[in-house]
Amino acid sequence: MSVPLYEAKAELFRLLGHPVRIRVLELLQDGPKPVRDLLAAIEVEPTGLSQHLAVLRRSELVTARRDGSTVVYALSGGDVAELLRAARALLSAKLSGRHALLNELLEEETGQR
């Protein structure tokens, strides 16, 4: 094995570790979109968006095809949605953990004493 699997996983996660790239992937889940639309939906300079798109292209998470004078991006194959879903689930578990703790604290306050 030339690249151990855990290295590949780490790299995948590292690629996902930027808000603009997350936004792009989320937007592309509703189907292919021209750069123009992404640019309108995300707060970022054109040049910055291009750079993030380049990262996603190099890692083959998205594909680009030229259509006239615009470029259209799409998710390529693999189930990115699943990953994003798992991330959301984990985050909400963490937040509701906090909530539960908060409730416990409140009970203690109001209950005895």
Positions 18 through 57 that interact with DNA (CB under 7 A)? 18, 20, 34-36, 39, 44-55
Strands (E), the chain: 33-34, 62-67, 70-75
Per rule CB under 7 A, is residue 88 in the interface with DNA? Answer: no
DSSP 41-61: HSSS-HHHHHHHHHHHHHTTS
76: tokens are: 């390529």
Least distance (Å) between residue 20 CB and DNA = 6
Of 67, 94, 101, 107, which lies in the binding site for a second copy, with binding defined by CB under 8 A?
94
Which residues of the shown chain bind DNA in the complex (CB under 7 A)?
A: 14, 17-18, 20, 34-36, 39, 44-55, 64, 66, 68-71
